[in-house]
Structure 1
Amino acid sequence: MSRRYFGTDGIRGRVGSEPMTPVMMLNLGYAAGTVLAQGAAAKEDRPVVIIGKDTRISGYMIESALEAGLSAAGVDVILLGPMPTPAVAYLVRALRLQAGVMISASHNPFEDNGIKFFSADGMKLPDSVEQDIEAQLNQPWSCRDSAQLGHVRRMNDAAGRYIEFCKSTFPSSLDLKGLKLVVDCAHGATYHIAPLVFHELGAEVIAIGNTPNGVNINDHCGATHVDTLREAVRTHQADMGIALDGDGDRLIMVDETGKSYDGDQLLYAVVKHRQSLPGFAGGAVGTLMTNLAVEKAFERRRIPFVRARVGDRYVLETMLERGWLWGGESSGHLICRDKHSTGDGIISALQVLAALTSQGVTLASYTAEVELYPQRLINVRTVQSVDFKTSAQVQQAVTAAEEDMAGHGRVLLRASGTEPLIRVMVEGEDATQVERWAETIAAAVRELAT
């Protein structure tokens, strides 16, 4: 069954346009509540769902609509207020609830918003359940009798619970005393959480991007705009910078020189450290976008490495299939399954800091063996569905690029699962060659897309 609304990371779109409208969110709440109630019927329990959101102004509207739909379906609701996506995943497990809902469009601008669902185990909903919700959206519905309506309450200590959980993933034998950290919260859901986590573990913290106003989320800050963090690290003469995105599940780090480290390099640092600890087993999962230099570095350390489709849900699926504990994406989604069930920017940063602190090394020296290949990514926006796989012009450009690089590079084209984009990626040893072919292929895709 094809899915109309759910993409690789839930439902996402421009607020005010389908599917991100108040009516649609009301219907979605009722549909999701109905599916969850069917699952809970066998246990004779009333299902309970938590709802978190990032700091977008549209979160108020969407939260209210979802809350109404869930309540109308007979589902109890706990409102968390602004909370990171991984906090919702943690709390749904810790509270033994049926599901969690996160209202966020992650790294997108404030005009967008989205919905992510988490199951009782703190993982993204299985495809089959998302399909059930989509099917229910097409069915007529009516409000439950008054006595059967869901109750709604707020959880006032959600932030404190999550802060303590994050701190528990850092070794009790270590602390961050003596470190000066700049923490960029992207004016997003971690603004009242991330600085406290690192401060309570002993670091001197300079918080930036921590004054959300509803419209400044991800605006020239956070994990997608690292220049702001670089400047702050240099200005404050900090030891390191930590950049999170709007919903707190991405991480990019910056060292004292202003050099940035993406998800590929940070995944390598975490797994390299785990290999030095007793009981290490398994390997690491990357994606089709993972830099080839990381794969080769894992190979030199004899750590198994495989690539999954792009998207943290596919990384996690591959990890679960193989029984491995670590995986991630270049964009900064890192999953440390020995610490959490989903990607978590704060917890990932703590794992990197634990590696560096325990070894007494810098991030630069610890990842020195990973010399990233030049990689150029161009996002081509589309106004309609395009099939680049059957375009002779696009495929001719790809073939020419691969022949020119002669086994010393690769080309990847893929459609985004969250935005109307075709992503063109070229990677190779020669930066000039990579740039030239990326522009050539992107031009062919643009012509096809217009």
Structure 2
Amino acid sequence: MSLKVSVSGIRGIWGESLTLEELLKYTRAFGLFIRKRATSQRPRVLIGRDGRKTGPMIVSYVSAILNSLGIDVIDAGLVPTPTVLFGVREWNLDGGVIVTASHNPIEWNALKFVVHGGTFTTENDLSEILDSLPSPSFHAKWDEIGTTTLTTEIAQAHIDRILSHIDTRAIQSRHFTVVLDPVNSAGGPITIQLLKALGCHVIGINTEVTGNFHRVAEPTPANLSHLSEIIQKEKADIGFAQDPDADRLVVVDARGRILSEEWTLALAVRHVLSQNPGPVVVNLSTSLLSEMFAKTYNQPCYYTKVGEANVVEGIKKYHARIGGEGNGGVIYPTMNLGRDSLVGISLILEAMALSGKSLSELVSDFPQLFSIKEKFSKIADIPTLAKKLAKHYPDATLNSTDGVRMDLSRGKDRLWVHIRPSNTEPIMRLIGESTDKAWLTSVIEEIRILLEKL
């Protein structure tokens, strides 16, 4: 299996595609990129990791490589991805490295690169980094090598920023009982701290950081059935599940109903726009819900390529109030310019507190949409697929910005399908959604046949 190199990180299975040799190669390239862009002779980089067993070793190795290039490293230890993004921006650092494979299985790990300003590398940034791969060997002089220092301050600063932008008293007055499952990883300590600051009674599941994940890493409804029973047993008001680096969030209501990961962003979008309307930016694989709620408040909804860096670029370009991705990733730039499960948690709790409604009541009027998400091991040729779709669906609108997305309308019903190679796994993703379940099922089956023939 080859290494996955994209704006979503340098990802691979440890000991197979991700090795010390690959870490050295890509970390050096990133370090040279940072040195070229830095305004000071001693660039500073923040590094953090998730709860994988390989994380501490990789952090030590990456830090040493950066030090050898004359770069100072600030090691935040076990922290969420959004905390590192926040820290790079808040402390005006030259960049950051996050050692996490996010939702990938535990045998995976990765390097996510962050640039000055606290955002992930764009496609242009990544291209510049890759251009440095064949660069001649460089080492700082013996008296100019960088240092590595530890910090625990950035996590508290992240929490304080969130608390300063929500109605803390309203949430505290409700004394919510919350079940939290951070999958034995980076979200546990900081999220418990945030919830307690909001006056919540926290019931933790999989909160021990053991180096192993006690459930499947990706927080999708299919992987969270254990939460339903616990929430009902404990009579909790709400449940939250994160992925290993705590940038994605799935929510469970008091009845034990696990809501689609698509609803996380939709809940946040509607709540934010109800208080302060503005444009919305989402990726091409995101549910129509965000667009529908944007229209409710007479606001535009813009679409970007999949990948957090692409959505953030769109948020900046369109001066969006809020944005994100339909995998449970909320980006609210007022609090943090990146997908942040802690931000999602605080906004949803604020929506419940200010409205006086339960979570099930908040989503009771959500438009009924049907979705299908599938994976294919064979990677299809996108231009050929686009031609086949255009011929098979002559009335469709096709968008080839990222893979190919097809939109169809039939009376009041809408349907879209997005087919693209994954940024994080060696697979092809097929995602579709419609207001008509039978129509969606039929179209997806037709596309499956097209993919198999390709």
Normalising by the residue count of structure 1, what TM-score does the alignment of the two structures yield? 0.89
Provide Cα deviations, 1:101-121, integer angstroms capped at 9, x if missing partner: 101111111111111112221
The 5 Å alignment of 1:120-135 reads 120-135=116-131
Q: Residue 401 and residue 65 in structure 1: after superposition, are their counterparts in 2 closer, same or farther (change >3 A)? A: farther
Distance, in Å, in 2 between the alignment partners of 1:104 and 1:188 is: 10
User: 8 Å contact 1:12–1:114 — kept in the other structure?
Assistant: yes
Distance, in Å, in 2 between the alignment partners of 1:397 and 1:423 is: 21
Select the residue among 321, 325, 336 that pairs with 1:325: 321
Select the residue among 238, 241, 259 that pairs with 2:239: 241
The 5 Å alignment of 1:341-352 reads 341-352=337-348
Q: Which residue is 1:59 aligned to?
A: 55
Tell me if 1:195 matches 2:192.
yes
The 5 Å alignment of 1:78-117 reads 78-117=74-113
Matched position secondary structure for 1:379 = strand
Provide Cα deviations, 1:279-318, integer angstroms capped at 9, x if missing partner: x342212222222344334323323222222222222211
Tell me if 1:155 matches 2:158.
no
Tell me if 1:186 matches 2:183.
yes
User: 8 Å contact 2:88–2:94 — kept in the other structure?
Assistant: yes
Aligned-pair Cα RMSD in Å: 2.7
Letter paired with 2:243: D
Q: Which residue is 1:140 aligned to?
A: 136
Distance, in Å, in 1 between the alignment partners of 2:234 and 2:317 is: 44
User: 8 Å contact 1:218–1:246 — kept in the other structure?
Assistant: no
Provide Cα deviations, 1:371-425, integer angstroms capped at 9, x if missing partner: 231111111123xx53044159964896399799846323322221221121122
Q: Residue 330 and residue 156 in structure 1: after superposition, are their counterparts in 2 closer, same or farther (change >3 A)? A: closer
Q: Residue 156 and residue 201 in structure 1: after superposition, are their counterparts in 2 closer, same or farther (change >3 A)? A: same
Of 84-93 and 292-301, deviating more is 292-301
Q: Residue 312 and residue 156 in structure 1: after superposition, are their counterparts in 2 closer, same or farther (change >3 A)? A: closer
What is the CA-CA distance between 1:221 and the residue it aligns to? 7.2
Number of residue pairs matched?
A: 438
Q: Which residue is 1:417 aligned to?
A: 423
Provide Cα deviations, 1:262-289, integer angstroms capped at 9, x if missing partner: 4543333333333343xx3422122222
What is the CA-CA distance between 1:158 and the residue it aligns to? 4.1
What is the CA-CA distance between 1:362 and the residue it aligns to? 2.0
Select the residue among 169, 178, 189 that pairs with 1:173: 169
Tell me if 1:257 matches 2:251.
no
Q: Residue 394 and residue 112 in structure 1: after superposition, are their counterparts in 2 closer, same or farther (change >3 A)? A: farther
Distance, in Å, in 2 between the alignment partners of 1:197 and 1:163 is: 6
Q: Which residue is 2:25 aligned to?
A: 27
Q: Which residue is 2:451 aligned to?
A: 445
Distance, in Å, in 2 between the alignment partners of 1:303 and 1:59 is: 42
Normalising by the residue count of structure 2, what TM-score does the alignment of the two structures yield? 0.88
Distance, in Å, in 2 between the alignment partners of 1:313 and 1:445 is: 28
What is the CA-CA distance between 1:144 and the residue it aligns to? 2.2
Distance, in Å, in 2 between the alignment partners of 1:134 and 1:6 is: 10
Matched position secondary structure for 1:52 = strand
Matched position secondary structure for 2:6 = coil
What is the CA-CA distance between 1:194 and the residue it aligns to? 0.9
Matched position secondary structure for 2:119 = coil
User: 8 Å contact 2:105–2:217 — kept in the other structure?
Assistant: no
User: 8 Å contact 1:262–1:330 — kept in the other structure?
Assistant: no
Matched position secondary structure for 1:419 = coil
Distance, in Å, in 2 between the alignment partners of 1:430 and 1:275 is: 27
Q: Which residue is 1:427 aligned to?
A: 433
Letter paired with 2:98: M
What is the CA-CA distance between 1:70 and the residue it aligns to? 0.5
What is the CA-CA distance between 1:52 and the residue it aligns to? 0.3
Q: Residue 316 and residue 263 in structure 1: after superposition, are their counterparts in 2 closer, same or farther (change >3 A)? A: farther
| Unmatched 5+ stretches in structure 1 | none
Q: Which residue is 1:216 aligned to?
A: 213
Q: Which residue is 1:305 aligned to?
A: 301
What is the CA-CA distance between 1:446 and the residue it aligns to? 4.1
Distance, in Å, in 1 between the alignment partners of 2:196 and 2:85 is: 23
The 5 Å alignment of 1:63-74 reads 63-74=59-70
What is the CA-CA distance between 1:164 and the residue it aligns to? 3.2
Distance, in Å, in 2 between the alignment partners of 1:394 and 1:208 is: 47
Of 169-178 and 83-92, deviating more is 169-178
Matched position secondary structure for 2:180 = strand
Q: Residue 392 and residue 239 in structure 1: after superposition, are their counterparts in 2 closer, same or farther (change >3 A)? A: closer
| Unmatched 5+ stretches in structure 2 | 397-406
Distance, in Å, in 2 between the alignment partners of 1:404 and 1:88 is: 40
Letter paired with 1:350: S
User: 8 Å contact 1:297–1:369 — kept in the other structure?
Assistant: no
What is the CA-CA distance between 1:220 and the residue it aligns to? 6.3
Matched position secondary structure for 2:89 = helix
Q: Residue 148 and residue 48 in structure 1: after superposition, are their counterparts in 2 closer, same or farther (change >3 A)? A: same
Provide Cα deviations, 1:176-221, integer angstroms capped at 9, x if missing partner: 3421110110212112111121022101110112123223165267
Identity among equivalent positions (%) equals 27
Distance, in Å, in 2 between the alignment partners of 1:151 and 1:210 is: 32
Of 24-33 and 330-339, deviating more is 24-33
Distance, in Å, in 2 between the alignment partners of 1:152 and 1:206 is: 36
Provide Cα deviations, 1:145-170, integer angstroms capped at 9, x if missing partner: 21111111222444444333343343
User: 8 Å contact 1:92–1:120 — kept in the other structure?
Assistant: yes
Distance, in Å, in 2 between the alignment partners of 1:151 and 1:180 is: 43
Q: Residue 218 and residue 245 in structure 1: after superposition, are their counterparts in 2 closer, same or farther (change >3 A)? A: farther
